[in-house]
Amino acid sequence: MALEKMQILLSQGAREGQRILSLKGPLTLHTTFDFQSAARAETSPALIIDLTDVPYVDSAGLGALVGAQVTTQRANREIAFVGVNARVKALMDMTHVTQIFRVYPSVQEAEANLLSKQA
């Protein structure tokens, strides 16, 4: 069985201090380490995790998303998740992490709301 692959692209956000981490592929036990490394390496004041091209997330992937949330909060930085499909949203709802996550339908909406106090 071939291991799943994930592509991770880092780009600038619309405002200074915003960065976008775009993921492509499933976020699973086999791909979480790359995601965790990329998320930990990013130290911008606001990080947007774009899940638009993530078809599914398993429990290890969900744990990695929670870890990114906790790490950024502890560093007094902002984080948001965008492009969450129905399958991933169902997992987030079932595990009640949507209560701690800032989820937006699009990158543009997240960009408008993160670091808004600096606008």
Contact indicator for 118, 15 with CB cutoff of 8 Å: yes
Its pTM stands at 0.91
Residue 16, φ and ψ in degrees, nearest 5: -60, 135
pLDDT tens sequence for the chain (119 residues): 456 789 999 999 998 999 999 999 999 999 999 999 999 999 999 999 999 999 999 999 999 999 999 999 999 999 999 999 999 999 999 999 999 999 999 999 999 998 765 44
Q: What share of the chain is helix, strand, coil (3-state, %, to 5)?
A: 40, 25, 35
> Residue 2: its pLDDT value, please?
53
Contact indicator for 38, 8 with CB cutoff of 8 Å: yes
Report all structural domains of the chain as residue ranges with CATH numbers, in order of start. 7-109 (3.30.750.24)
